[in-house]
Structure 1
């Protein structure tokens, strides 16, 4: 496939200042397009031209690092990501050219990102899972550049590629196994006990995440038995509520008593008939491998690919299947420890199995940690 593509003009001096996405053999352009639409709702292909060496047509010489090389302006496709950003390609590269650019030798296809340079503050110390602090030591990208660069890194992680950052020349090769969380997006709601039963078909030791104690209402005497004296209003256990009423201008003793009685009645009603849960969690203790949680709640921010589908019109429920290791800070490390990778490798199949089980019951779509859709057959 790469042989039929235009070759990347590695002699272009401006190439060193632009961000590049390098991919291994076998990744089609439509796969990159789908990932673009998953993040940028208006992404679409455009026609552009690119100076490419050793092509037939109108040839003109250009000065290169190795002397005079013949190039021609040929039409190439560009994927418009945002108003000021577009991704040209795919371009074929040899192993030698890829290594010369700092990309892995297995790179056969390169996409060239043209985007604005928008930088903010120097990075603070701390987690850097994607390596962006290392790649932008003088100032992290912001606004549109931040969005498109983060998308490039997510693409590289999903497709097994690498990103070369323009200017610094730092090459980011995100671990394809570095993010194992999955989210099921569906239009159906499972009650906590029903969701627990589904998860237990995969991991029998799963349990509901519940508070360790129950609220039984205000302390005895709150809002009752208050007196007034020279030192002001006091009450047995209810000074907080009475002070709030005072602050809101409720000074009449009878009105305060009525409002406090209504508050007590509401508390009693909530204790007797609590409202249905709007969110809940299911926990799976993996011992030394950490914890898997399933968090169910309404979702308002959908990937662009799902926003206009009929089944999402009346609301969507997200079931987030999240893995948390014993050392949480390692989740944000670009190169976590070997024990972390071992634990992650043992947890990943269980995350996938739980997600598959929920999908089999609820249907819907599965998204990965970058909001890219995942085929259930690939889990």
Structure 2
């Protein structure tokens, strides 16, 4: 728990070095324990080196006992990166730093300055290309900044980025995708039944594309490779001589190899098809579609890796929204039409994830791999 704001030390806004570091700004009501959970969700070894809000001992002085207040917390997220705070911030403090006026607490972020090449053209959903137009953060700094953006998006906060002082205010709903991690497999018809309880329009998406025969130029582009091996384009004695030059000179050996290959192919074809993944779709018309993808997942969110049922990996039921214009997913400020469609699609994504989790159990995670309480959806 974070102590009342009146007990927090004030943000040192007049410290010139403060304005060269990254700052995480949060609105009222966000406790230090919430930040710790989100840190462990991305950096498993994260821990408080100094617990925030611990009262300092009273010290005697010429004017009597004095209480210097509560301790400043130091949250180490990696070997080289820490967050110091929380500091209390007034509206005037926030405005002076370009932060939202709703900011009440600020964390001072200390991490290495790792910069690479100028950013590539293209989408900039997190705003990092805008904040670092000359050299994009890489390695440790990139990992920390991406986490800060995810935290600000989850908690409704903002980030002030280092030397240039560019402020990022991630859209709370920029990524509405959810994933259910579990150890229980649903057959396609079982999944469809669960999803159709909340979205009747859902259908399985398992149809393959029928084969329409070889391409019109099949075999022609391989002619050069055959020539390099000394193989003719057509059969005849030239083919036998070419094979002999490459060490296959025994006719019985060639027949044996062919028979072995046929037997192997026959055995594979005789085995029943094992379904390792499949999908379902929900057509939302002008609002795009929802794709449900089912498959094994070896890389799990850090908070799940210690659970017994996830020790050997798990199954992932990914519920993704695909708008009609997928390029807008990567825009920091997408169009009004995109945001309207997203707002209409979000309840469907939430209801599908809840319905699946109610059947298969496990945990729900958002796009940043932060765990989500089904009751909050």
- With normalisation by structure 1, the TM-score equals 0.83
Residue 21, structure 1, aligned to residue 24, structure 2: yes
Residues 216 and 42 (structure 1), Cα distance of their counterparts in 2 relative to 1, 3 Å cut: same
Q: What is the correspondence of 1:182-193 to structure 2 with a 5 Å cutoff?
A: 182-193=178-189
Aligned to 2:219: none
Q: Deviations 1:323-366 (Å, cap 9, x if unpaired)?
A: 11111110000011111111111111101111001000000010
Quote the offset at 1:213 in angstroms: 3.2
1-structure distance, mates of 2:292, 2:235: 44
Residues 234 and 43 (structure 1), Cα distance of their counterparts in 2 relative to 1, 3 Å cut: same
**Contact 1:58/1:73 (8 A) holds in 2:** no
Quote the offset at 1:22 in angstroms: 0.5
Aligned to 1:40: 43
**Contact 1:216/1:271 (8 A) holds in 2:** no
DSSP 3-state at the match of 1:13: coil
Residues 140 and 325 (structure 1), Cα distance of their counterparts in 2 relative to 1, 3 Å cut: same
Tell me how large the CA RMSD over aligned residues is.
3.0
Q: What is the correspondence of 1:1-379 to structure 2 with a 5 Å cutoff?
A: 1-47=4-50, 75-214=71-210, 232=232, 234=234, 250-268=248-266, 270-271=268-269, 273-379=271-377
2-structure distance, mates of 1:189, 1:116: 43
Quote the offset at 1:74 in angstroms: 7.5
Q: How many equivalent residue pairs?
A: 346
**Contact 1:21/1:164 (8 A) holds in 2:** yes
Structure that is richer in strand per residue: 1
Q: Deviations 1:193-243 (Å, cap 9, x if unpaired)?
A: 221221122222222222443569999xxxxxxxxxx9747469xx9xx9x
DSSP 3-state at the match of 1:89: strand
**Contact 2:51/2:74 (8 A) holds in 1:** yes
**Contact 1:322/1:351 (8 A) holds in 2:** yes
Residues 266 and 148 (structure 1), Cα distance of their counterparts in 2 relative to 1, 3 Å cut: same
Q: Deviations 1:83-139 (Å, cap 9, x if unpaired)?
A: 010001111000000010110000001011011111000111100000000001111
1-structure distance, mates of 2:302, 2:121: 33
**Structure 1 unaligned blocks of 5 or more:** 50-55, 60-71, 220-229
**Structure 2 unaligned blocks of 5 or more:** 53-57, 62-67, 216-229
